[in-house]
Amino acid sequence: MTEKILIIDDDVDTLRLVGLMLQRQGYQISAATNGEQGLAKALDEKPDIILLDVMMPDMDGYEVTRRLRKNPTTQSTPILMFTAKTQLDDKVTGFEVGADDYLTKPTHPAELQAHVKALLGRVVVKRDDEMATQSHEHHGHVIGILSVRGGLGVSSVATNVAAALFNRTQSDVILAELIPGQGTIGMDLGLPGQKGLNELLSGSPVEVTKEKVQSALVSHGSGLKLLLASENPSDVYLSSQVDQYTALVSRLSVLARFIVLDLGAGLPPFVQKVLTLCHEQIIVLEGAANTINQTKLMIDEIVNLGIDRLDILVVLNNRMRSESQMAWTEVQQKLGHSIATTLTPAPEMFINAARVHTPALTSQPTNVTSQQFLKIADLIIEHEKAK
């Protein structure tokens, strides 16, 4: 692959001469004539190395370097400062703000080429090290939970499946609520007003780093680590950031043994993408004819994404006591898909759990419904071991 070099210099002659010289060595050259333009190109083009003049009007090279180092996209991009200044203090300032190397004008072409080659060599070594580290990272078991429409208890199921996995394994479990503007888990667990998901989705995909995702997680007294969606309905526009979601799930997968994703209702583009990244897909439904028919269609669409039909777990959530509730055998027959488990109605347990801001299973682990959540956790653990 041809390395890309970005040259930022207000001297057009320098741009032309240096660019031509490096181009003859086989490098791909991009140029900017001021700091603002250089910053924009650095973020957009992601060069392998930046040659940066110090003495420029409006924004000098030191300030450009400071801004490059503050941005996750460019914080590790090698910077070679290229200037007419020769004073030691100027070089010290350059290194202090984050420059990797320093050359004074005029410089011999061979010297410039040697410095560029050396910096690019460090980049290759660093990338190899990062790839080796990533290949040895443990990837957790990712579970996506969703339904055909809202109001079927997806968030409650996700919360208590996560609590059940923690109960069974005492391992790290992340519960991530991925629907911006429709957050409820934070309010139920006593952590309203969280902005972690918003911040991760607002930037570019490369800004969704492992460290940034980790810092967005909130610890809860139940033992779970939470990534929470905002409650402000206007934030729903962030759900269009499909590439950011892809990066987010990838980063979450190396931060815990189990990652439970609340994917909300329907199959918007980001959910379709995220489902293909999950090891487990759980659909929540109720025993109503319309919901069953829609769920049947949803299963077919998920299979069309390349997901094995046998890997899809269906949970029948009987939220309220009612004589009109359809038996699980009838639901299974109409759905044409096996029911993994049926959740017994326990409205009082969920209301009491919300009052004390904890998962229902954590507040009443011996309850019949809690035992059914534990059954789901046992199935997931079996699948995790098999895979």
Query: CATH no. for residue 293?
Result: 3.40.50.300
Which of 116, 135, 154 finishes a domain? 135
What percent of the chain clears pLDDT 70, i.e. is strictly above it? 93
Q: Do 191 and 122 belong together in one domain?
A: no
Q: Do 185 and 109 belong together in one domain?
A: no
Q: Do 124 and 268 belong together in one domain?
A: no
More confident residue, 195 or 298: 298
DSSP one-letter code for 326: P
Which tokens belong to 260?
Answer: 């439970």
Q: Do 191 and 127 belong together in one domain?
A: no
Q: Domain range spanning residue 15?
A: 4-135
The answer to which of 60-64, 89-93, 130-134, 271-275 has the lowest mean pLDDT is 130-134
pLDDT at residue 141 tops 60: yes
Nearest partner of 191 among 140, 145, 225, judged by Cα? 225
Average pLDDT in the chain: 89
List the CATH number of the domain containing 127.
3.40.50.2300
Q: How many domains does the chain have?
A: 2
149-171 residue pLDDT tens: 999 999 999 999 999 999 999 99
318-341 residue pLDDT tens: 876 666 678 889 999 999 999 999
Q: Do 233 and 324 belong together in one domain?
A: yes
Q: Is the peptide bond before 106 cis (omega within 30 degrees of 0)?
A: yes
Nearest partner of 315 among 186, 195, 161, 198, judged by Cα? 161
Q: Do 126 and 218 belong together in one domain?
A: no
Q: Which strands form 101-104's sheet, in the order they lie side by side?
A: 28-32, 4-8, 49-53, 79-83, 101-104
Q: Do 92 and 199 belong together in one domain?
A: no
